[in-house]
Amino acid sequence: MAELTPEQRAYVAAHKTATLCVDPDWVPFESLNSRGEHEGIAADLLQLVAERTGLAFALVPTKDWDESLAASKEGRCQVLSFLNETPLRKEWLLFTDPIFNDSNVFITRVEHGFIDDPASLTGESIVFPRGTSMEERVRSEYPNLTILTTGSEGEALDMVEDRKADMTMRSLIVAAYAIRKEGLFNLKIAGRLPNFANNLRVGVVKSEPVLRDVLNAGIQTITPQERGQIVNRRVAINVQTGTDKALALKVSIVFAVVLGLGFIWNYKLKKYNAELTRLSQTDLLTDLPNRRRLMTAFEAELERARRYGRPFSVIMLDIDHFKAVNDALGHLAGDRFLIGFARLVRDSIRHTDMAGRWGGEEFLVLCPETGRDQAAHLAGRVLAAVAAHDFGTGRAHTVSAGVSAFESEDTGDALLSRADDALYKSKQTGRNRVSVL
């Protein structure tokens, strides 16, 4: 089950259902079947969200995606099931974290060359179903392409097949599915849209921020394994009687290879991006979060404390007489000292706290769900650990601390300023002590 806050549980208890609009023709991601039921990858993922939050979805049927967008703008449905976040859509929607990720690919006839840079194409046309985020982006970034629009995914593929358009664009899964299912052997996947994946999210009307947070809590419970099982179940296609089985086998192999390469590419890309993100948010010397990462986490915890009335404290730490270490032993020894100090602080705090390097020999500890007295006790524990530790310098070392707790009217600057003032007080009154303001 999802871990909901009291406010979110109250919302679910009070509302029980949320109205939902979907794309009725986006197989295998989602569609409305002959009975008017929502089915596909999106439907299965939303079912998991519903089961884990206790919030049901009430489907508002529409004839196409344009009507779903219009219904969302008019307030006839609170939730849009499966879409990319764009500046235009952010005018009336809030977005959850991604519920599913997939690459975008160009689909052309087999005789078309590989597309490595769409900006280099001249005199070519690309067709989209109306209202897609990809149409919005290509119009903005690739004015060299002539944009055509049509009513559905199938019509777009037909236009490419009939040479009424040079290409269309689909997610990798949709493209591979369509080529295999429809037997479109004169079409191929001819390249990827650079630097843009489908980070598909759930859209929620701006008047319902708590609903967005409830859905986010459910989305965060979905595992990669569960997503993979859903894709395998929804993308599999049965071979009909009378089909050339040898041909079907070849197509299946090609489809599996394309889909497999797509997942491998996405996995590697996510891995590299995650590592780049980690490096950009990590102090390279101490391997603790850097000031940028601390401020992101600080602002999130401050907002949570302000919104839900939860306790939140910060501890500012400054190593006493650190300059003497550098002056007497050299900067390499000073670096080793900082590495050891960072490890000691990390080991002294709780797993729910975050310690990071604020700058130089100053460190900041964020303490969610922690009042002033608890934070002061935690700071005292860090001071005791430092005083008892042998840093290999041949001398004893201490640290001073300043503690401040969130108050209802606090800004972020005010909270940090009080912690800094408290630290200054500790320095001025003898060091190796905790002051609280």
- Catalytic residue annotation: 361
328 Cβ contact partners less than 8 Å away, ≥ 6 residues apart: none
CA–CA gap between residue 390 and residue 387 (Å, rounded): 8
> Which pair of structure tokens corresponds to residue 89?
């859509």
Concatenating the DSSP letter of every residue in 344-391 gives HHHHHS-TT-EEEEEETTEEEEEEET--HHHHHHHHHHHHHHHHH---
Q: Give the residue carrying structure tokens 């109205």.
A: 19
CA–CA gap between residue 101 and residue 377 (Å, rounded): 44
Concatenating the DSSP letter of every residue in 397-414 gives --EEEEEEE--TT--HHH
Inter-residue contact 403 to 314 (CB < 8 Å)? yes
CA–CA gap between residue 307 and residue 213 (Å, rounded): 13
> Which pair of structure tokens corresponds to residue 399?
């640290």
CA–CA gap between residue 41 and residue 173 (Å, rounded): 11
Inter-residue contact 436 to 372 (CB < 8 Å)? yes
CA–CA gap between residue 134 and residue 274 (Å, rounded): 24
- Note if the bond before 311 is cis, omega within 30 degrees: no
Inter-residue contact 55 to 16 (CB < 8 Å)? yes
Inter-residue contact 273 to 195 (CB < 8 Å)? no
Torsions phi, psi for 338 (to 5 deg): -65, -40
Sign of CA dihedral 241, 246, 252, 255: negative
CA–CA gap between residue 334 and residue 357 (Å, rounded): 15
The residues pairing with 153 across neighbouring beta strands, listed in sequence order, are: none
